[in-house]
Structure 1
Amino acid sequence: MSVGLTVVSGSGHTWRLTEQIGSGSEGFVYGVDDARPLVAKLVPDPPDPEAYRRRVARLVRQRREPRTVGLLAGTPVRLAWPLVSVRTADSTAADGVDGYVMPDMRHAFQPFNHLLSVSARRAFLPRATWATALRAALALARLLGELHAEGYVVGDLKTDNLWVGESGRVGMADVDSWQFTDGREVFPGRMRTPGYTAPERLGAAIGTPPDTASDDFALAVLVHQLLLAGLHPFAGHPADGGDYLSYDDNVLHGRCRIVDRASVLLPRSVPPADLLPRRLAELFRRAFAHTGRRPTAVEWAEALAAELRPGRLKGCAVNTRHIHTVERPWCPWCDQTEHGSDSYPDPPQEEA
């Protein structure tokens, strides 16, 4: 879809769209020519256009309801919530394309993936340490717990719809894909993403509604990526000699280092598994084993908050960027460095 579009709300207000700044499996995100930090999402071909218009309209209305007002409180706003429904007004789109205007998360956040790789951290979040990752994990768990408490299910929780700030604040986008109710009407979640889909949904038919437990699986994956410098918990070649197919294949077969160290083969340069505090390692085992109940977002938030209490973190005498739990007698990041990689290297001399 080309830029230079104009969109119009139901009340007749118009906005001119500028550059395309993002795209996903369903739609495109554009800058908006407005004094306020706004962007617009357009969805050209929803499976059911009328249902999609109704979904967005209900979310716009819910923005003023008590359960949502609390979620949107505070500065900066944590959710790219639909502010108003819009439709393209140009003559080249005979039937128009539906979408909505929402807050521009770039105003206060950076893409979540910037916290998950060494090069992106150095370029965009140069002061980030493992403590920043812990704070981001806590912020994400708290936000998800609040959403669940108010009856929302994200359904497609992944790095691509998350945002992070320098201090570890977290924001979330793609609200229009969530599962929620409005009165007696249920608006089901539809989307799922490889690597962030719970095992029970992998074997289910496309369109099977998600639930809070499937969100809790994706949360655990994301927390693992945050705390192990981007490493996916189901990364690794099968240790039985079979071919690596995908994260999802490893999920289905229970190949996960933290559950069964002998199930996968990983490079020695990845962060060591024993860098995790015991209580967090146990939550990961519960989250990724195929038996028992997964930890909820609230349980994750409580455990992560405990690891950020005074006295629970210590610094490394060799590298000030190497922060780790006091449960580890020596620095896990220095151990990683000895194997050819450093997830939190010292800044270049000119930045020091």
Structure 2
Amino acid sequence: MGLTVVSGSGHTWRLTEQIGSGSEGFVYGVDDARPLVAKLVPDPPDPEAYRRRVARLVRQRREPRTVGLLSGTPVRLAWPLVSVRTPEGPEADPVDGYVMTDMRHAHLPFGHLLSASARAAFLPRATWATGLRCALALARLLAELHTEGYVVGDLKPDNLWVDESGRVAMADVDSWEFTDGREVFPGRMRSPGYTAPERIGAPPGTPLRTAHDDFALAVLVHQLLVAGLHPFAGHPADGGDYLSYDDNVLHGRCRLVDRTSVLLPRSVPPADLLPRRIAELFRTAFAKAGPRPTAADWAHALAAELAPGRLKACAVNSHHVHTVERPWCPWCDQAERGADSYPGRPGEET
């Protein structure tokens, strides 16, 4: 017998195959004419608090601050549409969750844009300009969320989706930090490599700030613009052992901040492929002192780089798009060192 879930009003859905899982829950297909999936969370730390969180998000879907976020096509947020739970039975306790839009209907996993092989297989027309557009869409969406009082807290590729035009969508809304009336629903989740240094090691329950999202955004924008390379990738140049991205974050090992801090393969994209103002924003975002650029700051700067005349296509390979600030093609430079992030076909039009 297949798994079923039921809403508070008594509507029942039959779930199909499991299509994803995370640190807290599982996502299943839903047997419905509409593109829907269901997320079930078997063991939340506080089941009653989790049910209340989802119920508030379902209600907020109709409130002014959220209506604008959910407008437009395709849908940008996998917002909880209705709370559900598995039926009670003699063999297992009921499991709570919610039904949401299936992002696969109009998007691909965000990680496909960060890998050369996945880009070739699933997004063959993608160029550096696609990464720019995706970065801009992500920055704008995050800026809107912050304006409306939401903090994502666990911004990472696994929670994001993208289409071939660079439009972005976001899932795992139930992990965000937000308020409803006087009640605060804290965000608990964090992921290695996307956690701001001041949050690494912080005790559970430490309030989230938009600056924490701004750090993760800068990491993701770097990955989008530097062909998937994490800004804190690299072996410590002082001879110490590589431990993790988070260890590099805590010790400030970042090529853009200090070229001498890490050792990287010669095949990675050159650092000078970035426009000057974008590189400066990265240095500010990853520096240990001072405020970080906000999502709105990133949106403004990225939009400027997509303005007419700011991009140039390589004469050898039309998939090699780069900033006009660079006098020659950075992707051809990378190819000479043993890798090509945007190979395409010589002379092919994009």
Give the equivalent residue in structure 1 for 2:109.
111
Q: Does 1:201 align with 2:219?
A: no
Helix, strand or coil: the match of 2:13? strand
Q: How much does 1:94 deviate? A: 3.3
Q: Does 1:187 align with 2:185?
A: yes
Q: Structure 1 residues 90 and 275 mapped into 2: Cα distance closer, same or farther (>3 Å)?
A: same
Mapping 1:77-116, distance limit 5 Å = 77-89=75-87, 91=89, 94-116=92-114
How many residues align? The count is 350
Q: Does 1:235 align with 2:243?
A: no
Q: How much does 1:208 deviate? A: 1.9
Give the equivalent residue in structure 1 for 2:28.
30
Q: Deviations over 1:4-45 (max 9, x none)?
A: 210000000000000000000000000000000000000000
The letter for the 2-side match of 1:278 is R
2:124 to 123, 126, 131: 126
Give the equivalent residue in structure 1 for 2:298.
300
Q: Structure 1 residues 55 and 312 mapped into 2: Cα distance closer, same or farther (>3 Å)?
A: same
Q: How much does 1:209 deviate? A: 2.5
Q: Structure 1 residues 299 and 24 mapped into 2: Cα distance closer, same or farther (>3 Å)?
A: same
Whether contact under 8 Å (2:319, 2:344) holds in the other structure is yes
RMSD, matched Cα: 1.5
Distance 1:155 1:138 in 2: 19
Q: Structure 1 residues 274 and 9 mapped into 2: Cα distance closer, same or farther (>3 Å)?
A: same
Give the equivalent residue in structure 1 for 2:263.
265
Give the equivalent residue in structure 2 for 1:244.
242
Whether contact under 8 Å (1:188, 1:209) holds in the other structure is yes
Whether contact under 8 Å (1:126, 1:347) holds in the other structure is no
Q: How much does 1:205 deviate? A: 1.2
The letter for the 2-side match of 1:232 is H
Q: How much does 1:203 deviate? A: 3.2
Helix, strand or coil: the match of 2:281? helix
Whether contact under 8 Å (2:108, 2:162) holds in the other structure is yes
Distance 1:299 1:186 in 2: 27
Helix, strand or coil: the match of 2:126? coil
1:213 to 211, 214, 219: 211
Mapping 1:322-333, distance limit 5 Å = 322-333=320-331
Distance 1:258 1:330 in 2: 20
Long gaps (5+) in structure 1: none
Give the equivalent residue in structure 1 for 2:337.
339
Distance 2:275 2:221 in 1: 13
Helix, strand or coil: the match of 2:68? helix
Distance 1:36 1:309 in 2: 38
TM-score (norm 1): 0.97
Distance 1:24 1:98 in 2: 15
Distance 2:225 2:93 in 1: 47
Q: How much does 1:204 deviate? A: 1.1
TM-score (norm 2): 0.98
Distance 2:345 2:70 in 1: 36
Q: How much does 1:206 deviate? A: 2.8
Q: Structure 1 residues 212 and 122 mapped into 2: Cα distance closer, same or farther (>3 Å)?
A: same
Whether contact under 8 Å (2:85, 2:94) holds in the other structure is yes
Q: Does 1:41 align with 2:43?
A: no
Whether contact under 8 Å (2:317, 2:345) holds in the other structure is no
Whether contact under 8 Å (1:279, 1:303) holds in the other structure is yes
Q: How much does 1:163 deviate? A: 0.1
Distance 1:86 1:203 in 2: 34
Q: Deviations over 1:89-146 (max 9, x none)?
A: 2636532000000000000000000000011000000000000000000000000000
Q: Once the two structures are aligned, what percentage of the paired residues are identical?
A: 85
Give the equivalent residue in structure 2 for 1:5.
3
Q: Deviations over 1:75-94 (max 9, x none)?
A: 01100000000000263653
2:315 to 305, 312, 317: 317
* Higher mean C-alpha displacement, 85-94 vs 48-57: 85-94
Distance 2:347 2:22 in 1: 39
Distance 1:18 1:277 in 2: 47
Distance 1:160 1:153 in 2: 17
Q: How much does 1:349 deviate? A: 11
Whether contact under 8 Å (2:317, 2:347) holds in the other structure is no
Q: How much does 1:351 deviate? A: 11
Whether contact under 8 Å (2:318, 2:347) holds in the other structure is no
Whether contact under 8 Å (2:318, 2:349) holds in the other structure is no
The letter for the 1-side match of 2:62 is R
Long gaps (5+) in structure 2: none
Q: How much does 1:348 deviate? A: 9.6
Give the equivalent residue in structure 2 for 1:281.
279
Q: How much does 1:165 deviate? A: 0.5
The letter for the 2-side match of 1:246 is S
Whether contact under 8 Å (2:14, 2:30) holds in the other structure is yes
Q: Deviations over 1:296-327 (max 9, x none)?
A: 00000000000000000000011110000000
